[in-house]
Amino acid sequence: MKNIMVLFCFAFSLNSYSQEEELYYFDWHLYSLTIDGQDYPIPSNEEVSNVILNFYSNPENLITGVCNSLEGELIYDNSNINFTFPNGTTTTLIECNNSENSTFEQLYFNFFNDYIDFPFPYIVGHADFPEWWFLIIYNENGDYAEYGQDALSTQDSFSVNFTLFPNPIANEFFISIDNVSEKISVTIYNMLGEIILTEKNYKSNSSIDVQNLNSGIYFVSITDENRNTSIKRLIKK
């Protein structure tokens, strides 16, 4: 995941895809889960060390899991780049041995099940150098799950802690960054994975002018001089 965001910040070329066929390319490894604006870490212990999501065809369905598995048949809407669960989902009923895993599993499964009657928009992105694919899925509440083509190693870090304010925004916003580095790069990209704005050497709590942006959902990535990276959702009124 860190590699993806570093690519954004250095403005390497990025191509995005809307066809569901790209979803079948990889075992998608969950990198982060954001619920109501709060980021929840992926469990890493003897029982659960990775959370994987797979898409299948014939029939079209999705399978993911933590201790248990969640599965559901899908219908794709390529014009709006989303999918729905026409018959809901099914889950197994194995009890996690670790309470951390149980808590995360409930959050993750509720990400889908609490909004099962609504479409789930998604982005599949491809960075050309190095070759890297990522997937972001949203629900009706604006929560989102980020996945990548490879497992997230223990060396990868989302250690740039920052806050966007105000959010939603009108004409400008500010970023408050913990443990401020001398060199911070800020990149804003849209729902298609296209870079909208890049600012290098950003100073914490400085204003960023976005009055020319259309209303909608954007993502802000922050990368420091050590290439530690984090990302948050931004809403433009």
pLDDT, residue 61, reads 95
pTM here is 0.70
pLDDT band at 115 (very low <50, low <70, confident <90, very high): very high
Between CA 136 and CA 191 the distance in angstroms is: 9
CATH number of 2-148: 2.40.128.270
Q: Where, residue-wise, is CATH 2.40.128.270 in the chain? A: 2-148
Helices assigned H by DSSP within the chain: 2-9, 99-113
d(C-alpha 95, C-alpha 92), whole Å: 9
Higher pLDDT, 127 or 191: 191
Residues 160, 162, 163: CA angle, nearest 5 degrees: 165
Structure tokens given for 126: 């491809």
Domain spanning 162-236: CATH superfamily: Macroglobulin (MG2) domain (2.60.40.1930)
Whether the pLDDT of residue 18 is over 50: the answer is no
Q: Where in the chain do CATH 2.60.40.1930 domains reside?
A: 162-236
Q: What pLDDT is attached to residue 225?
A: 73
pLDDT at residue 229 above 70?
no
Pair 213, 219: CB distance under 8 Å: no
Report d(CA 157, CA 155) in Å as an integer. 6
Helix (H) or strand (E) holding 86: none
Most confident of 53-62, 107-116, 177-186, 193-202: 107-116
